[in-house]
A and B are shown apart, each in its own frame.
Chain A
Amino acid sequence: MDLTKKTLLDMLYYMKLTREIETRIERKLYRQGKIVGGVYVGRGQEAIAVGSTILLEKDDCICPSHRDMGAYLIRGMSPRVIFAQYMGRKTGATRGKDANMHMGDMSKNIVAFVSMLADTVPVAAGIGLSFKMRKQKQVVLCFFGDGATSRGDWHEGLNLASVQKVPAIFICNNNQYAYSTPIEKQMAVKDIAVRAQAYAMPGRTVDGNDVVAVYEATKTAIDLARLGGGPSLIECKTFRMTGHSAHDDVKYVPQHLFDEWEKKDPILRLETSLMRDKIATEEDVKRLAARIAREVDEAIALAENDPFPEPHEALEGVYADQVIKPPLSIADAFFPQRK
């Protein structure tokens, strides 16, 4: 295994940072009314975005979904920008235009998610197609949940990616629930990875709460893609340790499932193995937690002081070459003539 100590510690940092940011978002800022609208977190799923995205080079690209906070962080989106995004500030990734995880930044090759699940799957195929056309060695990671694999766009996207042999890696957060609908009501197959067979691409199921397993599976897929071997599908089995969103009381999930999966917590597992292998001490882990809490405190303080957009900015940015006129302009233009 080629995992260095540094990479392992980096992964621990990003997983813990993800957890801390999302805890503040869901359990503090949202409850304090500082974040409005929908809030979706990936508690318990942090290993998936982190164990995969950590492998990327600068020019590679990601299409994250709504429980992949770690992917944004690794690609360089700052916690301050993320908090500002959630609080609707001008300094957020969408300048107040869009909410929560709908963040993108093409300077970091982060493609913004939309609420229509699996829409980014054909988009990732097109990103891969552009790499192939330009004879570049880049890859694109495309993330989605189990629910998204039931949509037609998912199947169309995988099929086109495979026919065109594009360098795309499709990563499924199989957290076993699509909102309230358990996996057995979503699909008749046991493993989402078997769907890869229909598109003649490698499909693997891994323990999504084991960051090293995610890392290794993604590395194999990336190596194949960079050599021109085409796309892969990786199914990461995990569990959503929250409701679908912050307002969901999640009564439909039996408590024993939460209890079982709590023991498989990906952060706890990595910490335990790092201490067992003498890569980190308990003291190191505590220091890391304190450092992250400090970083997050600072980011929230900055974001809370960031300005909201001006109301009229709602009219900007629809097109590159024009600003939309407000509907009132007609009245303004017309009625003065009648005086």
Chain B
Amino acid sequence: MANHVRNVLAIAGKELRGYFASPIAWVMMGLFAIMFGYFYTVYLAYFVRAGMQSQFGGGPPTQNINMDMIRPLLSNASVLVLFLLPMVTMRTYSEEKRSGTIELLLTSPLTDFEIVMGKFIGAIGLYAALLVVTAVYLSMLFVFGNPEWRPVVAGYLGLFLLGSCFISAGLFISSTTKNQMVAGAATFVLALMFWIINWSADSASNPTVSDVLNYLSITQHFEDFGKGIIDTTHLIFYFSFISFWLFLTLKSVDSERWRG
């Protein structure tokens, strides 16, 4: 067990170093900071203006920084994640296959599971760093205001799980191709599909189909987290989703061995 953990961490560490040694991590963090900062400013200005209006009468009667600012902000952050994470995962396997370094990993005393987990955790590490960037903005609200922390933590947990879903799916797609661009584009489309899959739920004639489509929607499960609710149904959905794609990645790596 200790050996497994050590091996997974060795791969994860290598992945993280790879992200930060190349411009990827820094560009991601920069873009994420700019976009999130823009949303932050817009919502903050809106929130302040609405607050002033309600003070002099005429605006919404009560204002809640959690519901009116943090929640939509995190919801917007999830859209950024949809766009940025395919760029993180697209190289995970593709690059190793293209440059031949996959031969080093597959001939080292590591199991395929350790390699897949290591790559998954490495990408999660970079994603966590992106989330830390957003936390810097939000911490300002705690310094100058008095928001409730529970919904914020729940929202972050939701965002984290949402991103992990994209990473697991992206890992699988990257394991099927040598071409980074193909991996990135396909991951984006796949993630987008799961994002909007419930749009067709309303028009589905069969109620079961409609339920299934709603259940498969990644965003549907995210909403409760934004409200500060941590529901096991959603946790189970996210964990199954992640396990499913990691399992497929494992199978894909294994079948790749046979094909050479």
A binds B: no
